Amino acid sequence: MFQRVIRGSYLMLLLITAPLTIAQEFSADVVNLKSDNAGLKKLYATKDKVRFEVENGDARMGPSAVILDETQNKYVVIMSARRMYMDAPSMMARPLIDKYWRVEDVNDACPAWKKMADQSNHAENWGSCTKIGSDTVNGRSTVKYEGVSKKGDKAHIWVDTKLHCVIKTDQATGGGIELRNIQEGPQPASLFEIPSGYTKFDMGAMMQRQ
C-alpha cells in the first residue's frame, strides 16, 4: 500500500519535473488536464522550498505531500493519514527535478532543457524545442514553447515571465498540468516542515518483511 502511494507521488513529480529553486514565493492550484484529474492538487513555493499536495488513488491513504528542499538537496514524503514521513532517495529526485521547471532565461529556455536532458541521459527521444512566442495563461504573461520528440509527438509548455517557472503543459497524446489561482506572497514556514508527532517510515524494513 505504501509503495503505491510513494510510486504515485514519484510519477506525478517526474511528469512535471518539479522546481528546486523559485525566486518568487507563491501558491497555486494544480489541475491535471487528464479527465480523472488525479495526482497533484496544490503547491506552495518559497525561494528554496516547494510543497506539493498529492491526492492518492487509494482513498484509505488519505492526502499526502512532497516537500522539496534545495538547500539540503533532498525531498520528504509526508503521509498525513498515517502521521508518518519518509526521506525520499536522492536518486529519485535528481536530475529529473533539477532545472526543467525552474527557468532562468524565460525567452531562451530550450538550451537549458536540452542540457538537462543530456546530463540525465534522457535525451534519446529529444527531437526539437522551439520558442513560439508570447502568450497569456489565466491572465498571466507567459512565453510558449513547443517540443517535438523524435517520434513526432508534440508538447507545449508555457513559462511564466514573472515567476520564471512552467505554469502549464499539454501533450498531443493527452494530459498535461496547469497552475491556476496563483497567489503571490510569503508562504507559512510550517508548510515546509515535518509536522510534530510524525514518525519516520522505514522503507528498507518494509521491503525486508515482504
Predicted pLDDT of residue 59: 54
Per cent of the chain over pLDDT 90 is: 36
* Contact criterion met (CB below 8 Å) for 108 and 25: no
SS3 13: helix
Q: CATH says 2-209 is which class? A: mainly beta
Weakest mean pLDDT among 49-53, 117-121, 130-134, 206-210: 206-210
* Contact criterion met (CB below 8 Å) for 20 and 50: yes
Cell reading at 108: 531562451
Map grid coordinates 497533484 to a residue: 40
Give me the amino acid identity at 81.
A
* Contact criterion met (CB below 8 Å) for 95 and 150: no
pLDDT band with cut points at 50, 70 and 90 for residue 72: confident
| pLDDT surpasses 70 at 181 | yes
Cell reading at 173: 497524446
Give me the amino acid identity at 12.
M
Predicted pLDDT of residue 138: 95
More confident residue, 115 or 70: 115
Pairing of strands 39-45, 49-55: antiparallel
Cell reading at 14: 517526474
pLDDT band with cut points at 50, 70 and 90 for residue 33: confident
Predicted pLDDT of residue 23: 56
Weakest mean pLDDT among 6-10, 176-180, 187-191: 6-10
pTM of the predicted model, to two decimals?
0.78
- For the chain, domain boundaries: 2-209
* Contact criterion met (CB below 8 Å) for 96 and 122: yes
Concatenating the DSSP letter of every residue in 133-199 gives: EEEEETTEEEEEEEEEETT--EEEEEEETTTTEEEEEEETTS--EEEEEEEES---GGGGSPPTT-E
